[in-house]
């Protein structure tokens, strides 16, 4: 079994192009779909009708302490015109003790922006309250008084959710490609006859299969880990600290996909046909399962039902839960269970189909 396992690695290292290509694709797609947007800070023009120039710029300093948004100074006429011409989606009006938004069109970021501005305002107002109560101007009250605010990190912004969905979705999607393409080898070996050579040998079928399948699983896991590691260290994407949960999910997901692979190899007899079938299966699964767009935007009941049958849906759902919502293993039982169950069912049917085919396979 380990001999078979090791051999497949030797072969993979001789021809690593496939894995590297799909790893590269993951990075490229993440970069174009999420990276560019994530890097950008969103510019928010501000205006004021009552505040002095100085007061307005004080507010701007305070608002610009965090980096997600960049607040710039402008005036009412300009932003009004910009919004009317649809060049800007929104603008923020700053006043002494209140704020207002001019909103031209709906934008993903508005709710986050409102939440953020609201938080800063209430913080400032409370500090102001305290200053007045103590009647002093020079003490930095924030040193003494902890102001309770909801941190931004806890409730993930829609931008963050989108970004993580792309990262997870693409990493899983391209690992599906790699795994399924690598598994074509099973069918190829039956064609070239190396599989038959192994059957002639004293190795049992179970061991041959186990060695092979372990290899595909590990190769898939390796690819996902590499993708996430590179995205973390090079692009700076944060995955939190739920390493155990993430690992369990990745392993279960890869198991489900390897099983799906067995099913495909059992259904589709020739490597040539597989070359066509694999992209179709991988892509439609990714579309239905929500790797390309969030399932929230889907309303068709049939599509939503189909999504339930896609392993990638549970992979994404579970990973997002572990990374963004800080869920623990016990809270992730649903996606994990679904993946394992699918894996077992696919594997059972797949092996049976494969063996039925090989009943007619001579040398």
Residue of 199, 218, 304, 340 that binds another protein (CB under 8 A): 199
Residue 135 near another protein by CB under 8 A: no
- Residue written as token pair 């031209």: 104
Contacted by 357, from ligand ATP, another protein, none: CB < 5 to 8 Å by type: none
Single out the segment in contact with another protein by CB under 8 A; choices: 8-16, 118-126, 153-161, 213-221. Answer: 8-16
What are the backbone angles phi and psi of residue 361, rounded to the nearest 5°? Answer: -105, 115
Contacted by 363, from ligand ATP, another protein, none: CB < 5 to 8 Å by type: another protein
Q: What separation in angstroms does the CA of 98 have from each of 59, 111, 118?
A: 12, 17, 9
Nearer to another protein, 182 or 310 (CB): 182
Residue 298 near another protein by CB under 8 A: no
Q: How far is the CB of 265 from ligand ATP (least distance, A)?
A: 17
Tokens read off for 237:
């994407």
Phi-psi region of 40 (alpha: psi -120 to 50; beta: other; left: phi over 0): beta
Residue 43, classed as helix, strand or coil, is: strand
Count of residues of this chain found to bind another protein when the rule CB under 8 A is applied:
24
Strand partners, 180: none
Contacted by 300, from another protein, ligand ATP, none: CB < 5 to 8 Å by type: none
Chain residues binding ligand ATP by CB under 6 A are 360, 362
Nearer to ligand ATP, 53 or 362 (CB): 362
Residue 214, classed as helix, strand or coil, is: helix
Q: How far is the CB of 360 from ligand ATP (least distance, A)?
A: 4
Q: Which of 165, 172, 193 is nearest to 108 (CA)?
A: 165
Binding mask 202-241 for another protein (x = CB under 8 A): xxx-------------------------------------
DSSP H helices in the chain:
2-14, 17-30, 36-39, 53-63, 76-84, 110-134, 158-192, 194-200, 205-230, 243-267, 271-289, 301-308, 311-324, 333-358
Nearer to another protein, 196 or 247 (CB): 196
User: Residue numbers of the site for another protein (CB under 8 A)?
Assistant: 3-4, 7, 10-11, 14-15, 192-194, 196-204, 359-363
């Amino acid at each position: 079994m380990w001999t078979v396992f090791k051999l497949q690695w030797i072969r993979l290292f001789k021809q690593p192009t496939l894995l590297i290509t799909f790893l590269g694709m993951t990075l490229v797609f993440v970069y174009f779909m999420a990276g560019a947007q994530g890097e950008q800070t969103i510019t928010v023009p501000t205006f004021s009708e009552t505040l002095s120039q100085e007061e307005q710029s004080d507010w701007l300093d305070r608002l610009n302490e965090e980096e997600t948004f960049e607040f710039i100074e402008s005036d009412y006429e300009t932003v009004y015109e910009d919004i009317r011409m649809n060049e800007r989606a929104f603008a923020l009006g700053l006043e002494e003790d209140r704020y207002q938004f001019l909103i031209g069109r709906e934008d993903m970021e508005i709710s986050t922006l409102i939440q953020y501005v609201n938080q800063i305002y209430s913080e400032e107002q409370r500090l102001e309250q305290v200053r007045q109560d103590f009647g002093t101007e020079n003490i930095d009250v924030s040193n003494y008084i902890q102001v309770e605010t909801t941190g931004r990190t806890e409730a993930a912004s829609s931008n963050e959710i989108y970004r993580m969905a792309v990262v997870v979705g693409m990493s899983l999607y391209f690992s599906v490609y790699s795994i399924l393409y690598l598994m074509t080898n099973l069918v190829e070996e039956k064609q070239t006859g190396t599989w038959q050579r192994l059957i002639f040998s004293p190795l049992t079928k179970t061991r041959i299969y186990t060695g092979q399948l372990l290899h595909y699983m590990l190769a898939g896991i390796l690819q996902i880990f590499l993708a996430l590691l590179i995205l973390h260290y090079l692009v700076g994407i944060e995955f939190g600290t739920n390493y155990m949960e993430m690992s369990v999910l990745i392993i279960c997901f890869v198991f489900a996909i390897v099983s799906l692979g067995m099913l495909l190899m059992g259904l589709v007899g020739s490597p040539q046909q597989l070359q066509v079938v694999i992209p179709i299966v991988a892509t439609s699964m990714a579309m239905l399962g929500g790797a390309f767009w969030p399932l929230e935007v889907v309303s068709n009941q049939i599509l939503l039902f189909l999504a339930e049958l896609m392993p990638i849906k549970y992979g994404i759902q579970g990973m997002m839960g572990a990374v963004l919502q800080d869920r623990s293993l016990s809270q992730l039982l649903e996606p994990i269970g679904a993946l394992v169950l699918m894996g077992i069912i696919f594997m059972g049917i797949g092996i049976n189909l494969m063996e039925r085919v090989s009943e007619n396979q001579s040398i």
